[in-house]
């Protein structure tokens, strides 16, 4: 026995020395990597020109070509209130519509509100007024108004129309209105449920809109009771309309689903909302002719949650599980301003204004990209063949002073492509 232990001890020491040498080698490579920059990106950063739409379209061609054969494309954003993020995604949308046949644009906006805004876009009504009625305040910008006018003009001159839709459920009265209007005069009993649904949803909307006011008081139990009343009404309408074989539109069916998802999301965790938004996207994409662009925060649209506990995010992961060719773009910045406000809940009437971006933190993707010589660039991760390091990514919503970071992630685990613009400005909410 003693004679057998000595060689094993020597062998163990040899293995430890071998391990330490490799560990030191790994750290020396890592330090060299940090000092020399991202070797994986050498020649892979595609410069972008923000000033010239024609030049930008040419520079975006590799991205458009990758996106072109996908059924669903996500256009994320590192903040909810950045003008350049809006502008560059609108440029991408135009290319995808004109050159690749995309025909539906789905916003992180209430489904019912988006439905009626789509009708307004294709009418002679004032788009600016319609934005205030049907869009969350974060989307009430000069950039979005220009997009909506472009859709109106495009639809007037093309047979294949572009549809504007929504995947979210912060406000529900207009979703109930879709159901109520379609059922009018068809079945008196089902109509009664539709009236109850609309009244309950309108009550909920009034609470949601006013709760940012610190002086506003309401009964949480009453709100929950009204939500349950709305949900059960939607279930009853679905069941009864099926029982009498009522012919209904796809919009009607999607509105009913929106109510079911809303109820699950509102009473569940934030991650439940992501799952429900993903279900809404996939419902919209069911049509064989649909090629869908999703517009929202990149935390939601990423290929997986950027947080280890998955407390928020993951809609993109759910979509990817059903549509393997789902493609998502992320956007980031380092300095400048973004539009945000003091309200906790997003409504149509939030007051948003420019806020300075804090300096990026050390050891983050944003800091690393800020050091690159190009002021704006695109990375296609299909062109990056070596593993990327794991670092935090800055994510900002619409709150002032918000400067949060994700957990450490390899960027290509979150996105198929990424656009970085070193200096950006707040979205333009002065569009009257």
pTM: 0.90
Least confident of 76-85, 239-248, 395-404, 412-421: 395-404
Q: How far, rounded to the nearest angstrom, does the alpha carbon of residue 406 sit from its chain's CA centroid?
A: 15
Distance of CA 137 to the CA centre of its chain: 16
pLDDT tens-digit map of 305-332: 999 999 999 999 999 999 999 999 999 9
Average pLDDT over residues 257-284: 93
Backbone angles phi, psi at 143, to 5 degrees: -65, -45
* Every domain of the chain and the residues it spans: 1-36, 40-168+273-424, 173-272
pLDDT value, residue 270:
79
The predicted model gives 233-255 an average pLDDT of 96
In this prediction, residues 244-253 reach a mean pLDDT of: 95
Q: What is the pLDDT of residues 3-23, one digit of tens each?
A: 332 233 333 343 444 444 444
What is the β-pairing status of strands 327-340 and 353-356? antiparallel
Give CA–CA dist 349/361, Å, rounded: 32
User: Is the pLDDT reported for residue 376 higher than 80?
Assistant: yes
What's the CA angle centered on 306, arms 304 and 311, to 5 degrees? 90
* CATH entry, 40-168+273-424, from 1.25.40.390, 3.40.50.300, 3.40.50.10580, 3.40.1660.10: 3.40.1660.10
């Amino acid at each position: 026995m003693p004679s057998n232990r000595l060689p094993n001890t020597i062998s163990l020491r040899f293995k430890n020395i071998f391990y330490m040498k490799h560990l030191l080698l790994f750290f020396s490579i890592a330090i060299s990597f940090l000092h020399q920059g991202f070797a994986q990106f050498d020649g892979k950063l595609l410069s972008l020109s923000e000033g010239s739409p024609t030049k930008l379209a040419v520079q975006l061609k590799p991205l458009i070509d990758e996106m072109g054969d996908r059924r669903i494309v996500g256009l994320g954003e590192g903040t909810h209130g950045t003008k350049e993020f809006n502008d560059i995604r609108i440029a991408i949308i135009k290319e995808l519509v004109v050159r690749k046949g995309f025909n539906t644009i789905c916003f992180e906006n209430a489904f019912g509100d988006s439905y009626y805004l789509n009708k307004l876009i294709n009418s002679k009504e004032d788009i600016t007024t319609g934005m205030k009625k049907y869009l969350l305040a974060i989307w009430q910008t000069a950039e979005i108004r220009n997009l909506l006018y472009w859709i109106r003009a495009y639809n007037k001159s093309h047979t294949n129309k572009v549809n504007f839709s929504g995947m979210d459920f912060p406000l529900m009265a207009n979703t109930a209105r879709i159901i109520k209007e379609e059922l009018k005069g068809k079945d008196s009993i089902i109509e009664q449920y539709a009236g109850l649904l609309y009244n309950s949803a309108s009550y909920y909307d009034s609470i949601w809109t006013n709760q940012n006011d610190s002086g506003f008081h309401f009964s949480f139990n009453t709100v929950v009771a009204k939500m349950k009343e709305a949900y059960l009404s939607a279930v009853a309408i679905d069941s009864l309309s099926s029982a009498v074989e009522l012919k209904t539109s796809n919009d009607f069916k999607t509105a009913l689903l929106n109510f079911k998802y809303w109820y699950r999301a509102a009473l569940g965790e934030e991650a439940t909302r992501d799952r429900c938004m993903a279900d809404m996207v996939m419902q919209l994409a069911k049509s064989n002719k649909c090629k869908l662009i999703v517009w929202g925060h990149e935390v939601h649209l990423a290929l997986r949650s950027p947080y280890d506990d998955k407390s928020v995010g993951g809609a993109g992961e759910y979509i990817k599980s059903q549509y393997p060719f789902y493609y998502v773009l992320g956007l980031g910045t380092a300095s400048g301003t973004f539009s945000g406000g003091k309200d906790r809940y997003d409504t149509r009437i939030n007051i948003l204004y420019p806020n300075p971006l804090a300096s990026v933190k050390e050891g983050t993707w944003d800091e690393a990209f800020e050091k690159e010589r190009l002021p704006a660039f695109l990375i296609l991760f299909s062109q990056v063949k070596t593993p990327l390091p794991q670092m935090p990514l800055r994510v900002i919503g619409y709150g002032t002073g918000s400067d949060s970071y994700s957990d450490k992630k390899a960027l290509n685990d979150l996105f198929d492509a990424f656009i970085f613009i070193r200096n950006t400005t707040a979205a333009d909410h002065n569009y009257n």
